[in-house]
A and B are shown apart, each in its own frame.
Chain A
Amino acid sequence: MAAAGQGGRSGGGGGGSGAGGGYSSGTGSGRSGLLDKWKIDDKPVKIDKWDGSAVKNSLDDSAKKVLLEKYKYVENFGLIDGRLTICTISCFFAIVALIWDYMHPFPESKPVLALCVISYFVMMGILTIYTSYKEKSIFLVAHRKDPTGMDPDDIWQLSSSLKRFDDQYTLKLTFISGRTKQQREAEFTRSIAKFFDHSGTLVMDAYEPEISRLHDSLATERKIK
């Protein structure tokens, strides 16, 4: 029964069936269950391997998926919402300027226009400061709810960098303890060639262990303390 089930799954796995067939027979059942979940929910990620931003985005997304699905953390959208709000307010000033100028043609609309233009560029400045200093290159903020419900949540942050035309991808995981407010971080730098095959498919079997290792290195320290 198990063999037939596995055969069916690896047959239906599409592009990733090569990798799945090779590994799922060799590893334990818990491991192959996770791999199957990734394959069934989303098709294996296939991107243009020469497109730097697509590579970085897919690595970031997969790291996000590992933390949210494997460790069951809850994503916190506060940082992203902040950026969206600033942008929305800027567009609002632009729309006000557009409509006001249309209703009261130029010379009369001068003060309102001046106000909107200045406000818009001030918002742009605020946005730049926000993305450079507050958001930095963080693409995930996740909370681990305390099982006892008494202590504040632990916060995990993921940030990454991949320089243009470079193949070295750096992923940094930051852990902020809810109780002690202490911050610990761990990172790794690997060539993207380690995670993608020649056709541009992201091989989770090579990527997921790195993430888990990074996570566990920070989690275990906590248990010792």
Chain B
Amino acid sequence: MVRAGVVGTQLPTSGLDIFGDLRKMNKRQLYYQVLNFAMIVSSALMIWKGLIVLTGSESPIVVVLSGSMEPAFHRGDLLFLTNFREDPIRAGEIVVFKVEGRDIPIVHRVIKVHEKDNGDIKFLTKGDNNEVDDRGLYKEGQNWLEKKDVVGRARGFLPYVGMVTIIMNDYPKFKYALLAVMGAYVLLKRES
């Protein structure tokens, strides 16, 4: 008697069959699984772009990374920004700015402002918790910041929530693993 063994096509019944749902699907259902994943990504993207358009800021939500603004803001706080052109920048206000050539935004307070009649301004910033002003952080030879360096003005904040972002940036492998697991879950599980 000849026995034909079928090797490799059946996972052990006690094991985890993560492709089980996918194997029972036809073309349209498989396409819908991919679409589902794409729609989740698109929704997140559209909400982010929508916030960018609404607030006028290129980065409407930022995380405070250092303790240079204590006791107002602590490391790990989430800030909501707006960047409307009509808002004047006055001494004493908290702005988020980017130094030319660096891509990490800095959250500090404006301490000096020079304003021309046509609305052009030059301003100087300093962190509340720092000893000196930010001239050491600016570009070589730059002593003042201008409107174009501003990412936005802080309008609201959430304490501690930004710690998740800090952890994910410090341990990128954790971030990728988390995203991979979430992506796999959406792609492989059939929704009802």
> What residues make up the interface of A, taking CB atoms closer than 8 Å to B?
42, 52-54, 56-57, 61, 77, 80-81, 83-84, 87-88, 90-91, 93-95, 97-98, 101, 105-107, 110, 113-114, 116-117, 120-121, 124
B118 at the interface (CB under 8 A from A): no
Q: How far is the CA of A114 from the CA of B31 in the complex (A)?
A: 28
With both chains docked as a complex, state the minimum distance between the C-beta of A111 and any C-beta of chain B, in angstroms: 9
List the count of A-B residue pairs having beta carbons below 8 Å apart.
65
Chain A positions within 8 Å of B161 at CB level: none
User: Please, how many angstroms separate the alpha-carbon atoms of A124 and B50 in the complex?
Assistant: 14
Give the nearest-CB partner of A14 in chain B. B10
CB within 8 A of A117: which of B28, B38, B46?
B46
CB 8 Å contact bits of B36-64 with A (1 = contact, 0 = none): 10110111011001101100001000000
* A90 touching B39, Cβ below 8 Å: yes
Q: Are B49 and A61 in contact (CB under 8 A)?
A: no
Q: Which of A56, A87, A117 contacts B39 (CB 8 A)?
A: A87
- Would you call B42 and A91 a contact (CB within 8 A)? yes
Q: Is the CB of A77 within 8 A of B53?
A: no
Contacts of B52 in A (CB 8 A): 106, 113
Q: How far is the CA of A52 from the CA of B192 in the complex (A)?
A: 9
Q: Is B35 an interface residue (CB 8 A)?
A: yes
Chain A residues whose CB sits within 8 angstroms of the CB of B191 once the complex forms: 53
Q: Which residue of A lies closest to B44 (CB)?
A: A94
Chain B interface mostly: helix
Given A77-B28, A94-B46; 19 other pairs, CB 8 A cutoff: A52-B192, A56-B192, A57-B192, A93-B42, A93-B46, A94-B38, A94-B41, A101-B49, A106-B52, A107-B58, A113-B52, A113-B53, A116-B46, A117-B49, A117-B50, A120-B43, A120-B46, A121-B46, A124-B43
Q: A97-B49, A117-B50 are in contact. Are A88 and B35 (CB under 8 A)?
A: yes
- B190 at the A/B interface (Cβ < 8 Å)? yes
Residues of B within 8 A of A (CB): 21, 24, 28, 31-32, 35-36, 38-39, 41-43, 45-46, 49-50, 52-53, 58, 190-192
Residues of chain B within 8 A (CB-CB) of A105 are 58
- Other-chain contact of B49, A57, A91, A113 (Cβ < 8 Å): A113
Bound complex: CA of A52 vs CA of B32, how far in Å? 20
Set of chain A residues within 8 Å of B39, measured between Cβ atoms: 87, 90-91
**Is the Cβ of B42 less than 8 Å from the Cβ of A90?**
yes
Q: Which residues of A contact B192 (CB under 8 A)?
A: 52-53, 56-57
- Specify the chain A residue showing the minimal Cβ separation from B36: A87
Cα A80 to Cα B27 in complex, Å, equals 12
Q: Point out the residues of chain B lying under 8 angstroms from A121, CB to CB.
A: 46, 50
Contacts of A52 in B (CB 8 A): 192
Closest CB in chain A relative to B162 CB, distance in Å: 22
Q: Are B46 and A114 in contact (CB under 8 A)?
A: no
Tell me whether A97 and B31 are in contact in the complex, defined as CB-CB below 8 angstroms, given that A110-B53, A114-B53 are known contacts: no
- Give chain B nearest CB distance to A177 CB in angstroms: 27
Q: How far is the CB of B57 from chain A (nearest CB, A)?
A: 9
Residues of A within 8 A of B21 (CB): 54
The CA of A101 and the CA of B31, in the complex, are separated in Å by: 27
Q: How far is the CB of B83 from chain A (nearest CB, A)?
A: 10
Q: Which 7 residue pairs are nearest across A and B when measured between Cβ atoms?
A: A94-B42, A53-B192, A117-B50, A120-B46, A106-B58, A87-B35, A91-B38
Most buried by A among B28, B41, B53: B53
B49 pairs with A84, CB closer than 8 A:
no
B53 touches A84 (CB 8 A): no
| A53 CA / B190 CA spacing, docked (Å) | 8
Cα distance A200–B190 in the bound complex, in angstroms: 18
Query: Can you give 29 contacting A-B residue pairs, CB < 8 Å?
Result: A52-B192, A53-B190, A53-B191, A54-B21, A56-B192, A57-B190, A57-B192, A80-B32, A83-B32, A84-B32, A87-B32, A87-B35, A87-B38, A87-B39, A88-B35, A90-B42, A91-B39, A93-B46, A94-B38, A94-B41, A94-B42, A101-B49, A105-B58, A107-B58, A113-B49, A116-B46, A117-B50, A120-B43, A121-B46
